[in-house]
Structure 1
């Protein structure tokens, strides 16, 4: 159920549907109660209902009643959880957030990104490759000046084509390589949905990620 702006219409529809859905256990309980009442009312006074059988029926009645109450409580809890997910999803829309990924679905313009550069690294280098593995641009990064931006230009100052690129950050210490890490691509959340009990976010740059794996940008 998608959420765009505040709480989504589809989220509200789903919650209302849960409220209005029929409860089979409750229906069985009402049917049993009706039959038991009719049985008592219409029993032969000269041959009343066997006490053992009556106690068994009362036990069944008590069990059904307890099950109805349990189901009502579970339904109430489910409604509360659904509303909480809807509210949580709606709060993300319009916010800037960072997704940790090495794959960038580029749609033009500047790309903001950040990373948690380890303290031992005294040099960082952004490297962008196309899907064939060819390097199209590199950029030296000051580890103390995050976030950074890629202007969308290739090494020869041409506009990069729209498409999928790989962005990694190479780390160095004293000129010696330490390894590579994924950047955190920053983009605005444009939609949110609840899928299998998980809040999924859609971004302005067409990325999709679970809210559990996304970092909200401070100050937004």
Structure 2
């Protein structure tokens, strides 16, 4: 995992693009050599058919355009990546709201929100650790909309859990017992941005590390 920078973040992609450009340029040079050799060694009594000559020139033109287009596309992609990196870096220091049931307990406190859809007759909430053990259970609100969820970090026996990442499971059902879709959100400040296997990761103050697509709002 590496810290994002305007210079080093796209080295691998740029190298691949440069390799493709080199191959394309080599193909063009090979084509020109072949064409020149053909003209130099043609039989004066049976010169190259003009139709074939035009076709070969058309092929050369196509290859040349491909080289130019590839170069320009590489420049555009580099600029787009640089713009994307600058936009990502602008999140540092800002408070963001992220979606997902993986939330963080920090300093013995977890604050989140959950969304309840219309038609909920029962809402059960549970806090689960990484081993799958239910630490605490709550009865959630049935009224449609966003609701606050607070956990003091203690399990059912009153033992204080260590800071870290936990799963908040919100199970909502209607009168017929059919499951309804719910969402969980948590807000924190972005303190660092890193790149891992091509993905941009946002490190939050509460200890969470999330991808860009989990951010639903920023302030």
Q: TM-score range by the shorter chain?
A: 0.5 to 0.7
CA contact (8 A) 2:100 2:185 kept: yes
2-side partners of 1:57 and 1:49: how far apart?
17
Unaligned runs of 5+ in 2: none
2-side partners of 1:95 and 1:49: how far apart?
75
Aligned pairs for 1:17-96 within 5 A: 17=15, 21=19, 22-33=21-32, 36=35, 47=44, 50-52=47-49, 54-96=53-95
Q: TM-score, normalised by structure 2?
A: 0.64
Alignment partner of 1:193 is 2:192: no
How big is the shift at 1:91? 3.1
1-side partners of 2:108 and 2:202: how far apart?
21
Q: Deviations over 1:102-131 (max 9, x none)?
A: 334545442231223446669977542444
CA contact (8 A) 2:105 2:163 kept: yes
How big is the shift at 1:16? 5.5
2-side partners of 1:66 and 1:134: how far apart?
62
1-side partners of 2:59 and 2:23: how far apart?
16
1-side partners of 2:6 and 2:90: how far apart?
11
User: Larger deviation: 88-97 or 164-173?
Assistant: 164-173
- Tell me, what secondary structure is at the counterpart of 2:187? strand
How big is the shift at 1:171? 6.0
- CA separation of 1:185/1:160 partners in 2, compared to 1, >3 Å: closer, same or farther? same
How big is the shift at 1:50? 1.6
- CA separation of 1:65/1:148 partners in 2, compared to 1, >3 Å: closer, same or farther? same
How big is the shift at 1:201? 3.4
CA contact (8 A) 1:201 1:210 kept: yes
2-side partners of 1:35 and 1:123: how far apart?
77
Unaligned runs of 5+ in 1: none
How big is the shift at 1:212? 1.9
How big is the shift at 1:99? 3.1
Aligned pairs for 1:39-188 within 5 A: 47=44, 50-52=47-49, 54-104=53-103, 106=105, 108-118=107-117, 127-130=126-129, 131-136=131-136, 138=138, 147-154=148-155, 158-162=159-163, 164-169=165-170, 181-188=182-189
Q: TM-score, normalised by structure 1?
A: 0.64
User: Larger deviation: 119-128 or 186-195?
Assistant: 119-128
Q: CA RMSD in A?
A: 4.5
